[in-house]
């Protein structure tokens, strides 16, 4: 153990294990997670070559091998609980995307949510047993987040009781689905349903794309890999062109919407049910944002505890860089955000499960809020995490640039979340529609429920009303000021649209001309939800020492947010200039308070070294020895003299 890291852990003021239990959800969940991690990490079948030293084809091959082993092991050990499968998978592929992601995360859940009992018998069991390997083909080359613009067609032919699927244009070719390029033999295809001369919008269809024995593409199917990306080197993101592909009538997922044998269309109870899989994934992405931040700040904080550099005082030993206030100001807000997003991720998972249960019972009332909340929080958390990962990387100096740190890979694997399952700006605008509708209902006297209930209870404070009393050391006071800021920005967005309409602009033009205000309103709403959920979580914690350190994190998260968005609070009359100065001063005090617990707080995430896969973030802090060892494994070091010397450099001498 590095002596610096030992000392850091000795300085902790709370029990790390108790906090880990809170992050996992219970003592039993921590125990079971570690048991599953041990099963995977000690299994020789999952040993791998360092992907950093492999070609893309080799990385894909290795990932498929491990995924196949994973399925066999899950069957062998009888692991079927979704949380436990998630733990197991994240150890097999340490938080890296892999070829079966969409099969496990979208194909199977879509069947569960949208298939009839008969379709479950036909498709789910073979898919669970990996006879059917599926993907979710929604995005097209020319259309992504704007789902109504998707061009793929599914036209019902009553004479044969079949749908005929086509990609009518070059831009309608399905593009990006993971596992589509080489892995899958089936796809759930989102296509515009045409029957009896009418288009009824997007619906989901199960389409065989490869022969289940030979794996050769079926007639009318043009399919392949789209090539290297920014990251996702182990995933065969693919393209799919459909040329008069015929599938049976009952290959349309018909739990809600239906097409009768004569072509009659039966509407679903709610149009949003078609997008249930996306809502599920968006809810999951919130937790992924928390995990990406937990990994990043674990690496950066542990490294900052053992890295010594520069001088605080001439002639004295170089201090740990974690002792510099600027390093703390970079990293501790990221640490606070990781905790905040972890608790939001827990809430989103619980909310999704609760509302899904209501939907299965025939109650669709919670679906609009779930859609708005998952869209907004997906955007809010991924934007914040994307920037924070880069802060952590740069906080590690030159070594953060090396892939041995794991930070470059965390960044390139996480960044796509800002785009897939809904581009973030569009997601914020979808949340804004819900906020404005709720605001209008509140102004009409309706009592709102859920995350927007504050629009009923509170009216935004005009600047002329003066600054409300704000206690910057009281979390309840901070929750209220975030609430008021959100209400103020929602009203400003609504006012902007009304002003545009008074200029006789169309509703669409008024919306576009107010889009900046709408996104800010959604951002403020999501920020309020995160602060409130952090405060709510503190009331559930029983251990005083853990409560104390979490309270410090919650205050730092809230005050850092005020400092970063001070213009909103000042313009709304929610903050005075003297109060803004107090916020900045108190943030510095909170950095001092957190310093003794920084390493213990990242230890509480309980990220195993193999799963973290970072030389800089090692639990034992022995960075330099292992950095040298890692470098020596580079394929360029396989021989003392590379063949290029004899082929190209040495011949230069004879030409001089």
Residue of 8, 421, 491, 500 marked catalytic = 421
Compute the distance between CA of residue 101 and CA of residue 73 in angstroms, rounded to an integer.
17
**DSSP summary character for residue 223:** E
197 annotated to bind ligand: no
421 catalytically annotated: yes
Beta bridge partners of 42: none
Both tokens of residue 21? 């239990």
Q: Which residue has the tokens 């994240």?
A: 90
CA separation for the pair 210, 98 (Å, rounded): 20
Cα–Cα nearest to 176, from 280, 115, 92, 106: 106
What is the rounded CA–CA span in Å between residue 174 and residue 565? 40
Whole-angstrom Cα distance, residue 629 to residue 92? 23
d(CA 377, CA 348): 9
Q: CB-side exposure of 343: number of CA atoms within 13 Å?
A: 24
Strands 153-157 vs 186-195: parallel, antiparallel or unpaired: parallel
Residue 181 CB neighbours (<10 A): 21
The whole-angstrom separation of Cα 587 and Cα 558 is 10
β 186-195/134-137 pair status: parallel
What is the pairing mode between strands 162-166 and 245-248?
antiparallel
Tell whether residue 178 is among the known ligand binding residues: yes
Residues ≥6 apart with Cβ < 8 Å to 639 = none
Q: Length of the chain in residues, anyone?
A: 656
Tokens of 75: 């069957």
DSSP code per residue over 345-370: HHHHHHHHHHHHHHHHTT--TTHHHH
Q: Which residue has the tokens 């969940």?
A: 29
Among residues 94, 472, 417, 143, the alpha carbon closest in space to that of 285 is found at 417
Q: Which residues are catalytic?
A: 421
Q: Which residue numbers belong to the known binding site for FAD?
A: 139, 178
Q: Which residue numbers belong to the known binding site?
A: 139, 178
């Amino acid at each position: 153990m590095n002596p610096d890291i030992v000392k850091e852990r000795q300085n902790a003021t709370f029990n790390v294990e108790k906090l880990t239990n809170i992050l996992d959800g219970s003592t039993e969940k921590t125990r079971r997670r570690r048991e599953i991690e041990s099963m995977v990490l000690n299994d020789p079948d999952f040993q791998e070559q360092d992907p950093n030293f492999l070609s893309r084809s080799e990385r894909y091959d290795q990932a498929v091998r491990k995924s196949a082993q994973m399925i066999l092991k899950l069957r062998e050990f009888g692991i079927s609980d979704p949380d436990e499968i998630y733990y197991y998978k994240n150890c097999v592929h340490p938080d890296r995307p892999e070829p079966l992601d969409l099969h496990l995360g979208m194909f199977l859940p879509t069947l569960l949510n949208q298939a009839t009992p008969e379709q479950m018998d036909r498709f789910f069991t073979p898919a669970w047993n990996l006879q059917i390997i599926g993907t979710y083909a929604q995005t097209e080359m020319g259309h992504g987040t704007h789902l109504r613009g998707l061009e793929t067609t599914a036209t019902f032919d009553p004479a044969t009781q079949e749908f005929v699927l086509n990609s009518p244009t070059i831009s309608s070719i399905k593009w990006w689905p993971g596992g589509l390029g080489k892995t899958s033999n089936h796809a759930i295809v989102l296509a515009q349903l045409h029957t009896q001369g009418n288009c009824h919008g997007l619906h989901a269809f199960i389409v065989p794309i490869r022969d289940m024995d030979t794996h050769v593409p079926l007639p009318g199917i043009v399919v392949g890999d789209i090539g290297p990306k920014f990251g996702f080197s182990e995933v065969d993101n693919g393209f799919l062109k459909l040329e008069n592909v015929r599938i049976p009538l009952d290959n349309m997922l018909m739990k809600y919407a239906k097409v009768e044998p004569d072509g009659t269309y039966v509407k679903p109870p709610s149009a949003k049910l078609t997008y249930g899989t996306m809502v599920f994934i968006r809810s999951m992405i919130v937790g992924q944002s928390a995990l990406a931040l937990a990994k990043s700040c674990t690496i950066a904080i542990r490294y900052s505890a053992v890295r010594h550099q520069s001088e605080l005082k001439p002639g004295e030993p170089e201090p740990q860089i974690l002792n510099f206030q600027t390093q703390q100001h970079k990293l501790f807000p990221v640490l606070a955000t990781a905790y905040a997003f972890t608790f939001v991720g827990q809430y989103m998972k619980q909310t999704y499960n609760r509302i899904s249960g209501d939907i299965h019972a025939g109650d669709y009332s919670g679906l609009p809020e779930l859609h708005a909340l998952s869209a907004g929080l997906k955007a809010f958390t991924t934007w914040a995490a994307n920037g924070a990962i880069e802060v952590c990387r740069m906080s590690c100096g030159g070594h953060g640039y090396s892939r041995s740190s794991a930070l470059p890979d965390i960044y390139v694997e996480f960044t796509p979340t800002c785009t897939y399952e809904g581009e973030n700006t569009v997601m914020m605008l979808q949340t804004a529609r819900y906020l404005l509708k709720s605001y209008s209902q509140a102004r009409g006297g309706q009592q709102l429920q859920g995350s927007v209930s504050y629009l009923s209870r509170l009216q935004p404070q005009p600047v002329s009303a003066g600054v409300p009393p704000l206690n910057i050391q009281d979390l309840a006071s901070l929750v209220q000021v975030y609430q008021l800021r959100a209400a103020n920005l929602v009203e400003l967005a609504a006012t902007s649209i009304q002003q545009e309409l008074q200029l006789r602009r169309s509703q669409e033009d008024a919306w576009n001309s107010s889009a900046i205000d709408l996104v800010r309103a959604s951002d403020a709403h999501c920020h309020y939800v995160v602060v409130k959920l952090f405060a709510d979580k503190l009331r559930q914690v029983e251990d005083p020492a853990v409560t104390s350190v979490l309270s410090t994190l919650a205050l730092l998260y809230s005050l850092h947010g005020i400092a970063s968005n001070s213009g909103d609070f000042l313009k709304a009359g929610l903050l005075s200039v003297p109060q803004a100065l107090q916020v900045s001063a108190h943030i510095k005090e909170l950095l001092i308070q957190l310093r003794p617990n920084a390493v213990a707080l990242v230890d509480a995430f309980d990220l195993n070294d193999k799963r973290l896969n970072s030389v800089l973030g090692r639990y034992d802090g022995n960075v330099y020895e292992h950095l040298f060892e890692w470098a020596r494994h580079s394929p360029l070091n396989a021989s003392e003299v590379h063949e290029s010397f004899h082929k190209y450099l040495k011949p230069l001498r004879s030409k001089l």
